[in-house]
Structure 1
Amino acid sequence: MSRPRTARGLSACLAALTLSAGCVRGVPSPEREPIDAATLARIQDWEDRRSLGDGALVSLATGAPDARVRARAQRALARIQDVATLDVVRAGLRDADPGVRDEAAFAAGELALSWEPLTDAERTALAEALLAAELAEREPRVRSTLMDSLGRTGAPAALARLTELLQGGDVEVAGRAALALGVAARRGGAALVAGVPLAPAVALLAADRPVEARYGGAYFLMTAKRAEALPALRRCLEDADADVRGLCAKAFGDVGGPEDAVVLGRLLEDPVPRVAAEAARSLAKLAAMCSGPCTAVETLEALAARAKRVARGMETPEASTEAGGAKAPAATGSAAGGVKAPATGADSPVETLARSADGHAILAVAQQGLPGFASPLFVSLRLALADAERGAASDLARADLGWLDCRLAAALDRQRGTLADVTSCGFGQVQDERRLALGLRETAQARDKGTAGFAVGYLSHKDARVRGAAVEAVGARPVPRAATALSPLLRGDDLVVAGATAAALGKMKAQLLAPALEPLADRVPREPGDLAEPVAGALVALQGRAAEPRFREWLKHPHANVRRVAAEALTQLTGQPVRSERVELPPDTFRPEPAPAGAALVFRTAKGDITVRLDADEAPLTSGNLYTLAQRGYFNGISFHRVVPDFVAQGGDPRGDGEGGPGYSIRCEMTRRPYRRGTVGMALAGKDTGGSQFFFTHAPQPHLDGRYTAFGEVVSGMEVVDALLEGDLIREVRAVRLTP
């Protein structure tokens, strides 16, 4: 689904991007003559079309007289992510200008993060270039970028160098090295850092260390997953910084034991709800280690008190519309954001939102699940919610309590392996379709409970979300007689359900239906976003090597994700690594109008307003995409369909199940913006698959840096983000312009 557009409006955005990319972050470049706008426009066009300009982009990256042009060209190479440009990136690491070296270091890290994995030889070559550059680099900011990229390679030599830096005397460098090692472990598994000593990371947790160093140390200990870190982790639970406490609480879920329930239990009353949610999630994981009632389960019973706090909610629904926290920056035009400063006193909007955020601890436990013997805890929590609902102070509180009740009911059904409690949960606050879809998806995880015969009847449900969830349940817990009922869904109008059906048939090894996949596979080139991955999995399972010619054709498809899926399928079928080639997109490929300077979005919800400043300079097309959709009213009435406490709140899907979008995809624009608390990112299902789904981060998420386009930040209303629960509606999104 594409349409042509002109390059109108790009020049101003590109100039700003080049100026920011042409210097070391925080170290301005000397004054120079303005860059030719035509050169910038060509680089932007090549970048968005994933083109090297017949070698012209490479020439600019290595030979342009102006360092700002070389830096901008390196940024384009980072976004194109073609391993064939490895030598050009390595040359950039040796550039005389620190800004170019910084962008080349970033580009090297992006190559390491490629959606199509590098070969061992390529990864080693990349690591060697980064190591040589890091040893020679004197600019602190460039060294930081180099350390990040070394961690992204995951290469043994790179991790060895980061280990040396962790043990050095520079606390700032050691903290950065610890974070880079942690990200490597998060991506490649704790075994990657098994030989890294813990003592230097533990030393970073000392109270007199800067918070960035403490965070790096805690992140490494959390991802290293080693029981010998437990004494330090227990002390870390008292850190003054909420994000550090949250990391250490998270670590207990992997390395703690039931005996740690008491120390974690104290965090259930942490003044920062997202920290309490991490403690609750880890307690749920510890409960799974018990063979029967234990301290971890008993400690979680304290969550019943949270239901009462959630129930207090807002005094009136209307009061919540002014719950924005600090006043938003002034906006031009009539849509200024509607965010007012918080009131004071016991009933201030900030405090009432905090009560709503208390529900995240309950949500975390329900999402994590508990062993069957702990079902009385879920029952007691539901009773507490029911009692609280009868005295709830507002419709908002009732809606929150209703959804939490359904989450707990679905967790109970997951324990039992069938739909029961979820069919009547929610105190009348939750639509039938949402309840059924939730329950079916949860029971899909109960693989030890036999087949999901109960889900077959929902395969013909009128709501696509329910049909899709039923397909998921049947595929995860195969029902032999379900193949006949699944077959018509392959030919249905809903491509998400059709794709899920193909995946389910593949898992069921339904060989007799292999021919029925052909028409759906023929649609993949025209509908790549919804179909490529599930159909490829089904073809591999049901056709085997007979599907190889089709995958060879897919390797030439313009959509990067189709090529990635084909390469992975061929690698699986042939036993040899297969990589697709870069395919240039045609000049008339759809490109969103860039966002204007000062672009912002105001999300209006029943819980208050959230104002987001878009990064129109660094990500003009991604920002422009959401800005334009907001102007069209696209987001009005759409829900936040996914909320994972202390991680993200995600919205922008018109289907409401995480599978929908605007009917087109845009290319990724990886920026240098790190995922801190309140960063806004673009949700993806693979390279260049962005559309309308976005997410807000509750806490820093360094493993997302450079992987998902970060294109803005919450500038007011973060307490509203914290209070969001799944299903909260976006009443309206206003596209506005903020003044400096």
Structure 2
Amino acid sequence: MQRHFVVLASLLAAACATGQQVETPSSAAIAAAVAPAGPATDPDAVRAAVLRRDRAALAPALVDSDPAMRAAAVRGLGQLQLPGDAAIVQALLGDVDEAVRREAAVAAGLIGLSWEPLVPEARDALAAAAAAALVKEETPAARSALVWALGRTGGAAAAPALLAVLDGDEDVPAALTSIGLLARYHGAGAGASAAVADRAFDPDPATRAAAAFALIHLRDPAREELLSALVRDGDPQVRAFAARALGEVTRRPSLLEALLGDPVAIVRVEAARGLLAAAAHSRQAGVKRRADLTMEASFAEALHRSTAALALQLRRGRKAEALQPLVLLLRGDLPTAAAAAAMDGLAGNAGLASLHCEAAAALDRARGRVEALRACAPSVDPALVARLEAAIPGRAEGAAEAREKGDGTRAAAAQRQPAPPSEPAPLRLPPQDGAGDVVLHTTSGTVRITLDDEAAPIAAANFRNLVARGFYDGLAFHRLEPGFVIQGGDPRGDGEGGPGFAIPCENGPAPYARGTVGIALDGKDTGGSQFFITLARAPHLEGRYTAFGRVTEGMELLETLLPGDEILRAVLQQTP
């Protein structure tokens, strides 16, 4: 029997592997390339029906005697994320086959995250069914899927079911994460803070990190002392989440000051965000702003201001004269911060001074020589200065390469018009070994991405096809959220551009860890060429954005990129 869905994914991948210049198809053209409309008769045809967004074709498979068909069909319902299918998914949570129950649990979570929200009654019913299934479920994989789902469904039964999981030894980190997501998405789980706190000092760092993540969203002031201890944890992810959580509840921003000098970047970023949140909460509560609050809020605001300024200036060509005002601005903030610190007996302004040095290094990189960096404040860690200085020659060389490659490459990228949707060329089924990694040669170095053809075959094939067409060559990383994501693939450079077509979402429970590559969206089924890479764990993206790959080389380099850094060239390479 013809493997329709694999044919489609392979069609796109083959065009890349062979260098054929075919246009990536539109959603309508993709539908025409797969199985003809009608009832799905095998699991691959079920997946093709999902791609067509042909809900009616799934109906027979949902009651098929073959559990593989039922599992594929309910997986499809989850990817379609239609609120009206919640009742069907509820029924399949009690299927006799474990694989069907597992897929139904994931589908329940995905429908709970639907872009078209469930009505409260349907949400409560879905959560109640998932909670009841969790009590009965004995297989580990299906139980884990139910725990994952309950954090996304919302509903009155979700929090009690997750708290019961905390009383055992299995799926505890997942349950803690789901409790945090319940609070984030649905404002639920307010009474869970004490149970979460009991797990905050677990020997397992993943459990401690998940507890800190939950406390970010529970926002319980009674946990201030606990969080002030967690920010000294030996695990950087625990410290980062705890810093963010502490900023939501503390009225003593000085608790976070020491983290501005943490050796791990994500911790420093979350400390800055926490300080900014603390400043905002204090103003809202009418608390008099102390000198340390002013100083730390100034640092956090400078962090965000510098990011915005760099994004703007680097998009305009990363010229030294554009960066110099930013460096001077940050240098001007230093005396104010130092005076504020002295008034309250604090250690000083190391965080802001370090930020100034990083901006100075960016200026030196644009000039191709070390100059502004030598004027950094004496309070800055010499190791940081040495690291920044050591990076300048290589980065300057990359910038020179970008300029040499032509201002032509950037100009072509800026003028590139989205390709109009078109029908795919009729290609034969290619060999299945044509897949491979994507390597991005950037102005700062090389990044290797390994794609996940099993979880997201369309997104992976689309990405390879765009790479083979040279679509990404010369495009900039236009968005940077420190400690969260870096994003690129937009020919317009403002977050609104794309290739002229959209691909369907392929959402699932894949974790968004550090280095996960996802499809950027502006709503359901609106992905195209824009992609992002997570710089830290981001559980709230799971089930909402298609995860289609991971960075396997060059992750440290990504953490040094700035908005405006470019993809000089993207190429396909066989997986090592």
Query: Do the structures match in fold with TM over 0.5?
Result: yes
Tell me the distance in 1 between the aligned counterparts of 2:229 and 2:290: 27
Q: Matches of 1:304 and 1:194 in 2, distance apart? A: 30
Deviation at 1:304, TM superposition (A): 13
Counterpart secondary structure, 1:715 = strand
Instruction: Summarize the Cα distance change of 1:641–1:85 in structure 2 as closer, same or farther, 3 Å threshold.
Output: same
CA contact (8 A) 1:62 1:91 kept: no
Change (3 A) 1:588 1:136: farther
Name the counterpart of 2:559.
722
Instruction: Give 1:178's aligned residue.
Output: 176
Do structure 1's residue 58 and structure 2's residue 59 form an aligned pair?
Answer: yes
Conserved? CA contact 2:106–2:508, under 8 Å: no
Deviations 1:640-696 (A, max 9, x none): 111111111111111111111111111001133111111111111110000111110
Unaligned runs of 5+ residues in structure 2 are 12-39, 304-325, 342-348, 374-398, 400-410
In 2, the alpha carbon distance for the partners of 1:74 and 1:390 equals: 50
Instruction: Determine helix, strand or coil for the equivalent of 1:655.
Output: coil
Q: Is contact 1:58-1:88 (8 Å) kept? A: no
Please state how far the C-alpha of 1:615 moved relative to its aligned partner.
Answer: 0.6
Aligned match of 1:731: 568
The aligned amino acid for 1:612 is I
Cα-to-partner distance string for 1:564-587 (whole Å, 9 max, x where unaligned):
xxxxxxxxxxxxxxxxxxxxxxx9
Q: CA deviation at 1:252?
A: 2.3
Following superposition, the deviation at residue 174 of structure 1 comes to: 3.4
The question of 1:45 aligning with 2:48 is answered yes
Is the 1:591–1:666 Cα contact (8 Å) retained in structure 2?
no
Aligned to 1:475: none
After superposition, the Cα gap between the structure-2 partners of 1:266 and 1:87, relative to the gap in structure 1 and judged at 3 Å, is same
Return the match for 1:210 from 183, 204, 220: 204
Q: How far, CA to CA, are the matches of 1:603 and 1:302 in structure 2? A: 33
What is the match of residue 7 of structure 2? 9
Q: Structure 1 residue 251: deviation in Å?
A: 1.2
Q: Where does residue 482 of structure 2 map in the other structure? A: 645
The residue that corresponds to 2:256 in the other structure is 264
1:131 aligns with 2:131: yes
- CA distance in 2 between partners of 1:706 and 1:255 (Å): 28
Q: Which residue of 2 aligns with 1:580?
A: none
Whether the 8 Å CA contact 1:681–1:712 is kept in 2: the answer is: yes
Q: How do 1:464-475 residues align onto structure 2 when only pairs under 5 Å count?
A: none
Per-residue deviation at 1:39?
Answer: 2.1
Matches within 5 A, 1:458-497: none
CA contact (8 A) 1:304 1:381 kept: no
TM-score (norm. length: structure 1): 0.56
Letter in structure 2 aligned against 1:181: I
User: What SS class does the counterpart of residue 467 from structure 2 fall into?
Assistant: helix
- For residues 416-435 of structure 1, the C-alpha deviation after alignment (integer angstroms, 9 at most, x for no partner) is xxxxxxxxxxxxxx9xxxxx
Q: Counterparts in 2 of 1:374-385, with a 5 A limit?
A: 384=356
Alignment-derived partner of residue 108 in structure 1? 108
1:225 to 2:230 alignment: no
The 5 Å alignment of 1:310-389 reads: 384=356, 388=360
Give the SS at the match of 1:106: helix
Distance in 1 separating the partners of 2:77 and 2:359: 58
Deviations 1:492-539 (A, max 9, x none): x9999xxxxxxxxxxxxxxxxxxxxxxxxxxxxxx9x9xxxxxxxxxx
- Indicate how the Cα distance of structure 1 residues 148 and 7 shifts in structure 2: closer, same or farther if over 3 A, else same: closer
| Structure 1 residue aligned with 2:390 | none
AA aligned opposite 2:91: A
Change (3 A) 1:659 1:156: same
Computed over aligned residues only, the root mean square deviation of the Cα atoms, in angstroms, reads 4.1
> What corresponds to 2:514 in structure 1?
677
The letter for the 1-side match of 2:554 is: G
Q: Of the candidates 192, 195, 212, which is equivalent to residue 191 of structure 2?
A: 195
Question: How far apart are residue 82 of structure 1 and its match?
Answer: 2.3
TM-score between the two structures when normalised by the length of structure 2: 0.71
Q: In the alignment, which residue of structure 2 is the partner of 1:295?
A: 292
Task: Provide closer, same or farther for how the CA distance between residues 296 and 596 of structure 1 changes in structure 2, counting only shifts above 3 A.
Answer: farther
Partners of 2:151 and 2:362 in 1: how far apart? Answer: 52
1:661 equivalent in structure 2 = 498
Between the aligned partners of 1:102 and 1:400, the Cα distance in structure 2 is 57
| Separation in 2, partners of 1:386, 1:98 | 53
Once the two structures are superposed, residues 294-343 of structure 1 have per-residue CA deviations (whole angstroms, 9 ceiling, x without a partner) of 2134357889999xxxxxxxxxxxxxxxxxxxxxxxxxxxxxxxxxxxxx
Flag the 1:97–1:656 CA change in 2: closer, same or farther, 3 A: same
CA distance in 1, matches of 2:127, 2:426: 34
Question: CA deviation digits over 1:590-628, x for unaligned, max 9?
Answer: 999999664221111122111110011221111111111
Q: Kindly provide the CA deviation profile for residues 355-397 of structure 1, in whole angstroms up to 9, marking residues without a partner as x.
A: xxxx9xx99xx9xxx9xx99xx99x869955994699477579
Match of 2:77 in 1: 77
Partner of 1:141: 141
1:336-357 deviations in whole A, cap 9, x for unaligned? xxxxxxxxxxxxxxxxxxxxxx
Q: What amino acid does structure 1 have at the position aligned with 2:162?
A: L
> Structure 2 CA distance, aligned partners of 1:383 and 1:115?
38
User: 1:47, 1:157 → 2: CA distance?
Assistant: 30
Write the distance in 2 (CA, Å) between the matches of 1:45 and 1:271.
Answer: 48
Distance of aligned partners of 1:636 and 1:122 in 2 relative to their CA distance in 1, 3 Å threshold? same
Q: Which has the higher contact order (CA 8 A, sep 6+)?
A: 2
Pick the aligned partner of 2:443 from 569, 593, 606.
Answer: 606
| C-alpha distance 608-300 of structure 1, shift in aligned 2 (>3 A) | farther
Distance 2:88 2:359 in 1: 65
**What percent identity do the matched residue pairs reach?**
37
Mapped to 2, the partners of 1:164 and 1:46 lie a distance apart of 38
Question: 1:543-562, aligned counterparts within 5 Å?
Answer: none
User: Contact between 1:630 and 1:734, CA under 8 Å: does it hold in 2?
Assistant: yes
* Deviation of 1:242 (Å): 1.3
Matched, 1:633 2:470: yes
1:683 to 1:234, Cα distance in 2 relative to 1, 3 A: same
Supply the distance in 1 between the matched residues of 2:258 and 2:185 (Cα, whole angstroms): 31
Q: Distance in 1 between matches of 2:426 and 2:208?
A: 42
Displacement of 1:116: 0.4
> Is 1:281 equivalent to 2:273 in the alignment?
yes
Deviations 1:123-178 (A, max 9, x none): 12211221221111011221111112112121112222222333x1x244333222
In structure 2, the CA distance between the partners of 1:83 and 1:146, relative to structure 1 (3 Å rule), is: same
Tell me whether 1:251 sits opposite 2:245 in the alignment: yes
Check whether the contact 1:62–1:92 (CA below 8 A) recurs between aligned residues.
no
* Number of aligned residue pairs: 459
Distance in 2 between the 1:304 and 1:665 partners?
Answer: 36
Q: Secondary structure at the match of 1:602?
A: strand
Quote the offset at 1:59 in angstroms. Answer: 2.3
CA drift of 1:199 comes to: 2.7
Q: CA deviation at 1:220?
A: 1.1
Separation in structure 2 between the aligned mates of residue 179 and residue 186 of structure 1, nearest angstrom: 10
Instruction: Say which SS state the counterpart of residue 603 (structure 1) adopts.
Output: strand
**Shift in alpha-carbon separation, 1:60–1:390, aligned structure 2, 3 A:** closer
Distance 2:371 2:502 in 1: 33
Q: Secondary structure at the match of 2:138?
A: coil
Distance 1:231 1:10 in 2: 55
C-alpha contact (below 8 Å) 1:651/1:693 kept by paired residues: yes
State the shift of 1:293 in Å: 5.4
